[in-house]
Amino acid sequence: MIIKAKLNTCFILFCSVLLFTLPSQANQWGKLFDYGQYQNAKISPDGKHLAVSVLSKNKQSLVFFEMKTFTIVGGAKFSGKYEVGDYQWVNNERVVINMVKRRGWLEKPVFYGELYAVNYDGSRGEMIYGYQSGEMQTGSAIKKKKSTMGWADIIDILPEDEKHILISSTPMSKTGERTPSVFKLNIYSGVTRKKLATSPVPFARFLTDTSGKLRAVVGTDKNDQEKLYIRNEDEWHLIDSDIVGTNINPLAISASGKYLYSLDNHQQDLRGVFKLDLEDYSYKNFFTDQEVNITSVEMTTDGRSVYAVKLDDGYPSYVILNSKLEEAKVYKDLIKSFPYSEISITSKTKDGNFYVVYVSSDVDPGQIFLFDKKQNKLMFLFKYKPEIKTSEFVQVEPIEFKAADGQKIDGYFTQGKATTKDKIAPVVVLVHGGPHGVRDYWNFSSQVQYLALNGYSVLQINYRGSGGYGHDFESAGHQAWGSITQQDIHDGYQWLVKQNKAIANNVCIMGASFGAYSAIQSTTLYPDTYKCAIANAGIYDLELMFDKGDIQERRSGLSYLNQVLGSDQQQLKSMSPVNYVDRIDVPLLLAHGKEDERAPLEHAERLREALDKANKPYEWFILDKEGHGFFNPENQKAYMKKVVSFLDKHLI
């Protein structure tokens, strides 16, 4: 059943713990880009302790609370360049943490596959996987823990096993194309037991059944195709691509062990849930929406079963797939309790009496609640952005329109807060990156809210080439980056003018990555429409993508570029705005991170050189330690302050 958000009379009990309460400071819009003081929270299996990711001196650490009193009983904080990433309770006393590290030349911390484990009281902290984890263990009968030049991903926390988790270990390489192996890892000693399996394909994602047994793996081959293998009698068996799709994403094995559920678009346009019979290999559609791809799935907190899917046809909606599961019943009630919101269960107790719940919306960056199932009560724990009142944010409106050729296009409009009551606010067309497999959603965006609160309406378009609307819609943007995608964006703005939500030509186009490409390309195609363009981390010379950047380093990456861009050099030149700066007659703001590996700085430098030769106006905003997009909050603030100043100069 599809559940749209409806109000319920669920009782909300607000927690009075001062630790989670901060005073509101109105109109501090720059605070939108600050890290949240408190991040994810997860409850221990026995319900006695709560782990909360907390910001301390601009680094993420972990704090443990005793649930009865909400007093701090322990924590984990790393020295040097390390900090806490994602984490999981693996038994009642111990948490395994993904250690992330700040490289000296980058602001954004990166996960290198290193795992750290610690008890809730802060004791027995141990690096259990990674190149720094090796050390001599005392006692001649105890196996030595080894340093591993590899990358770990947790496959299964093995709740039946108090001492081990199941991990994949990928040997380090520049491109990540080496095949991983599967091990049981001791969460106390860091010792790995014998190798259980090795993937037959790189970029592997392993799947276990409801008992924790390894059953399937999917990976990406050199042609950028997904390959599915099923494990029988300790051997991998390839499932022919005639049986399943080439973009299959396995989700779960049924409790009976007979079926594998997956996301796929096999022999159909839209991506839905499919069911593979593991006995006769028949493959059938289980659920597909009529309008959009499935956005995401809700898994049980042990990661072994799927019970719901999320759809984004305008506002988010949900489909309960397995109403027999207790988590599904709780989730259904939560959806009704929080209208027009995105909801996920971060963790629950083993007995199912307590759930930690994350809730967000277009005007809410996120809140964490504790749900007491027995009492049917929700206890508020904390907000992600408590400094600004939710009432000050601007609602996001789903829209749809017809492109010039009749194709239905979806998007979102956020009305800017105009200084004069009857004035129509100027518009920023904010183009998402990707472009393929990516789309805009009805959700909270600090950038969108910052622009709207500063008086600029924001238009977001899911142009052809975007993900989410089926294979045909996405592939329509292949080898058409510089043409049809830009026309869809332009048509969206013209529709907005006809709706009296925008004034003709009082608009600036803005974006990052592909969005930056669109911003510059659109000014060459529609010189009389846009008054200015803002481009961050952009690609401006499509031929350069085959020579520089991290995509072309992988064989699958080259296959992807050939598919979406083509190999015709004349066509690549014709779609590269660096070759048509003579058509640009509006001011530009060009921003970039010097350490960008996806879209190297050379793209911006080539564009700047061409602009200089043509004597075209532009502003230059380059940051030394940023990569593909800006991560540091102070850098984001500086950039958005520059953006608004630029808009104020060029829009009415």
13 has a pLDDT exceeding 50: no
pLDDT of residue 104: 54
Please state, rounded to an integer, the average pLDDT across all residues of the chain: 88
- Asked if residue 267 lies in contact with residue 284, where contact means CB atoms within 8 angstroms, the answer is no
For residue 72, the model assigns a pLDDT of: 96
Bridge partners, 451 (sequence order) = none
More confident residue, 132 or 631: 631
In the prediction, which pLDDT does 9 show? 29
Least confident of 137-146, 166-175, 289-298, 430-439: 137-146
pLDDT at 132 over 90: no
Distance, CA of 76 to CA of 73 (rounded, Å): 11
Task: Please give the full DSSP string across 551-604, using - where no structure is assigned.
Answer: STTSHHHHHHHHHHT-S-HHHHHHT-GGG-GGG--S-EEEEEETT-SSS-THHH
pLDDT of 141 over the 60 cut: no
577-623 pLDDT tens trace: 999 999 999 999 999 988 878 888 888 899 999 999 999 999 998 98
Strand partners, 457: 427
Q: Which two tokens stand for residue 337?
A: 């309790």
CB atoms within 10 A of CB 165: 26
547: pLDDT strictly greater than 90: no
Q: What is the pLDDT, as a whole number, of residue 552? A: 64
Residue 43 pLDDT greater than 70, yes or no: yes
Region of 465 (left: φ > 0; alpha: ψ -120 to 50; beta: rest) is left
Confidence of residue 26 (pLDDT cuts 50, 70, 90): very low
Q: What is the pLDDT of residue 414?
A: 97
Q: Tokens 């004349």 label which residue?
A: 570
Task: Give the pLDDT score at 23.
Answer: 32
* Residue (of 289, 281, 237, 240) closest to 263 by Cα position: 289
Highest mean pLDDT among 56-60, 226-230, 421-425: 226-230
Q: What is the pLDDT of residues 458-514, one digit of tens each?
A: 999 999 999 999 999 999 999 989 999 999 999 999 999 999 999 999 999 999 999
Radius of gyration of the chain (CA): 25
What are the angstrom distances between the C-alpha of 1 and each of 322, 323, 640? 10, 9, 42
Q: Residue 5 pLDDT > 50, yes or no?
A: no
- Would you give the end-to-end CA distance of the chain in angstroms? 48
> Residue 217 in 3-state DSSP?
strand
Q: How far is residue 58's CA from residue 250's CA, in Å, rounded to a whole number?
A: 37
Determine the number of helices (DSSP H) and then strands (DSSP E) in the chain: 9, 37
Which residue's structure tokens are 């340093």? Answer: 147
For residues 452-483, one letter each, b for 16 or more C-beta atoms within 10 angstroms of the residue's C-beta and e for the rest, the string is bbbbbbbbbbbbbbbbbbbbebbbbbbbbbbb
Task: List, in sequence order, every beta strand (DSSP E) within 24-161.
Answer: 38-43, 49-56, 59-66, 71-76, 82-89, 94-101, 110-119, 126-129, 150-156
All domains of the chain in start order, with CATH: 35-198 (2.40.128.660), 394-650 (3.40.50.1820)
Quote the CA–CA distance of 512 and 430 in Å, as a whole number. Answer: 9
- Quick: pLDDT tens for 363-404: 999 999 999 999 999 999 999 888 778 888 999 999 999 999
φ and ψ at residue 639, rounded to 5 degrees = -65, -50
Tokens 């009305």 appear where?
A: 415
The whole-number pLDDT of residue 103 equals 67
Cβ-proximal residues to 648 (8 Å cutoff; 6+ apart), any chain: none
Alpha-carbon gap, residue 538 to 572, rounded angstroms:
16
For the segment 196-214, the average pLDDT, to the nearest whole number, is 94
Residue, of 564 and 298, whose pLDDT is higher: 298
Q: How high is the pLDDT of residue 596?
A: 77
Residue 607's φ and ψ, nearest 5 degrees, are: -65, -40
Output the pLDDT for position 446.
Answer: 94
Tokens 């022919």 -> residue: 240
- The CA distance from 652 to 425, in Å, is 8
634-648 residues labelled b (16+ CB within 10 A) or e (exposed): ebbbbbbeebbebbe
* Phi, psi of 429, rounded to the nearest 5 degrees: -85, 110
CB 535 within 8 A of CB 591: yes
The whole-number average pLDDT for the span 32-42 is 88
Cα–Cα distance for residue pair 201/555, rounded to 1 Å: 13
pLDDT of residue 250: 95
Least confident range from 2-6, 30-34, 150-154, 284-288: namely: 2-6
Cis-peptide into 386, omega within 30 deg: no
Contact call for residues 477 and 435 (beta carbons, < 8 A): yes
The pLDDT of residue 38:
85
Q: Which of 482, 631, 509 is nearest to 105 (CA)?
A: 631
Which pLDDT belongs to residue 143?
A: 41
| Per-residue pLDDT at 148 | 64
